[in-house]
Chain A
Amino acid sequence: DGGITQSPKYLFRKEGQNVTLSCEQNLNHDAMYWYRQDPGQGLRLIYYSQIVNDFQKGDIAEGYSVSREKKESFPLTVTSAQKNPTAFYLCASSKGHGGYTFGSGTRLTVV
């Protein structure tokens, strides 16, 4: 079955460390997105990509970086510049007007 796979499910980061969250889709979707979700808050857009080798900043891109070298993959790196990275991270994809599909999320905790 087609879908989006996010890994790992849980991730722990030490102070000053960079970590990378994986997002892979086999839906042949062109666009991919990264969202951050904090308790009691809505979804906030970090980065999005509409085609391979191109991506745009969302509302809260500071402290994050992405790449889109393949259509299927859109990894998110949380850098040491992100001072409050503890959150739930969601990846999504879409094609045209066909709606959005989400992964199961990665919970990142700073230790």
Chain B
Amino acid sequence: KQEVTQIPAALSVPEGENLVLNCSFTDSAIYNLQWFRQDPGKGLTSLLLIQSSQREQTSGRLNASLDKSSGRSTLYIAASQPGDSATYLCALPGGSYIPTFGRGTSLIVHP
């Protein structure tokens, strides 16, 4: 059974810092990995989807990498802003393509 771990569980940083959020998984036989953002009381918004054949994806200040062999993905946030404050989750398809989620990293960026 796929298990997903996200480190750190919480992060509080001053505005402008470059951040690294980590996601590790136990089963490397994956089709893709997806990073989401969740604001309090809201649904999940997809940030980046990395297919298994890719090593990274970029969108604006966000960059996600994928290393299947080591069972790790990293979400890099450049020049963090208060608006980046949210919970970030990674998800991988498990058995029958059912997504397995990490517990998330709660990020606070203070001015």
Question: Are A105 and B46 within 8 A (Cβ)?
Answer: no
A100–B99 CB distance below 8 A: yes
B46 lies within 8 A of A101 (CB) = yes
Interface residues on B, range: 20 to 34
Q: Is the interface of B mostly helix, strand, loop or mixed?
A: strand
How many residues on chain A are close to B (CB under 8 Å)?
A: 25
Select A100's contact among B41, B42, B46, B104, beta carbons within 8 Å.
Answer: B46
Does A2 belong to the interface (CB within 8 Å)?
Answer: no
- Assembly CA distance A50 to B93 (angstroms): 13
**Is A48 a contact of B43 with CB atoms below 8 Å?**
no
A50-B44 contact in complex given A97-B31, A100-B91, C-beta closer than 8 Å = no
How many A-B pairs have beta carbons closer than 8 Å: the answer is: 52
Q: Which residues of A contact B63 (CB under 8 A)?
A: none
A100→B96 contact, CB < 8 A: no
> Which B residues contact A (CB, under 8 angstroms)?
31-32, 34, 36, 41-46, 49, 51, 89, 91, 93, 96-99, 101-104
20 A-B residue pairs with Cβ-Cβ distance under 8 Å, sorted by A, are A42-B103, A42-B104, A43-B101, A48-B96, A56-B96, A58-B98, A88-B41, A92-B44, A97-B31, A97-B51, A98-B49, A99-B46, A99-B49, A100-B34, A100-B46, A100-B99, A102-B43, A102-B44, A103-B43, A105-B41
- Residue numbers of A with Cβ under 8 A of B are 6, 31, 33, 41-43, 45, 48, 50, 56, 58, 88, 90, 92, 94, 97-105, 107
A-B residue pairs, 10 tightest by C-beta = A102-B44, A99-B49, A97-B31, A104-B43, A42-B103, A102-B43, A105-B43, A43-B101, A99-B34, A100-B99
